[in-house]
Amino acid sequence: MTPFTTFEAVAAAVPLANIDTDMLVPARFLKTISREGLAEALFYNLRTADPDFALNRAPWTQAGILVALDNFGCGSSREHAPWALLDFGIRCVIAPSFADIFQQNCFKNGILPITLAPEPVAALMALATDPATAHMRVSLLNQTIAAGDTLATFHTDPECRKRLLGGLDDIALSLRYADDIAAHEQQAHINQPWIRAIPGNIA
């Protein structure tokens, strides 16, 4: 995973609540067996239906940050949504709230989801709609967003922040506890022996 420390980019405003992962990546793009090449899929239906959609217009065709409303990323657990954001070049999403699974998927892919109160989101949204002020600098080290004269501060969960800053591999970290996992398995088998292997001839 690419570490996230500081990131500078144009921010695009998508002033919608409940942006679901079907909007982010419609189902027909889920037939891939790769993580790559999903930039085209990002917001496909909105981008094709509306020439004025933010990501269709300069300078937001180069957007690296999204500003949106409540419950961003709701719906399906498809990790294709953050993969498409990454492939497009977006590494930070700012919203008043995020769906749980999407938020986790962001952290696993080096994308920073920033949760802010509705008022600062509205202020950043306004800045993002004007090409003159849409450029923003996000620092995960300082937990700040700088946009022109505006400086917003945010809080990231310390553990998620540590993993993003270091670009750490979750699996390698967890495998250090392989002995603890094995001990748990032994005890669980004593407590609940009926949770068995699934037979090989299941079908």
CB 55 within 8 A of CB 63: yes
> Where does this chain touch other proteins (CB under 8 A) — which range of 2-10, 54-62, 78-86, 139-147?
78-86
> Where does this chain touch other proteins (CB under 8 A) — which range of 5-13, 84-92, 104-112, 137-145?
104-112
> Where does this chain touch other proteins (CB under 8 A) — which range of 51-59, 91-99, 134-142, 148-156?
91-99
**Is 51 near other proteins (CB under 8 A)?**
no
Q: In angstroms, what is the minimal distance from the CB of 137 to other proteins?
A: 26
The residues that bridge with 137 in the sheet, in sequence order, are 8, 146
Please state, in angstroms and as integers, the Cα–Cα distance from residue 45 to each residue in 23, 67, 98, 105, following that order.
Answer: 7, 19, 21, 22
Closest to 78 measured CA to CA, from 102, 99, 95:
102
Q: In angstroms, what is the minimal distance from the CB of 22 to other proteins?
A: 4
Write the interaction track for other proteins spanning residues 5-44; mark x where CB under 8 A is met and - where it is not: ----------xxxx-x-xx--xxx-xxxxxx---------
Closest to 79 measured CA to CA, from 104, 55, 98:
104
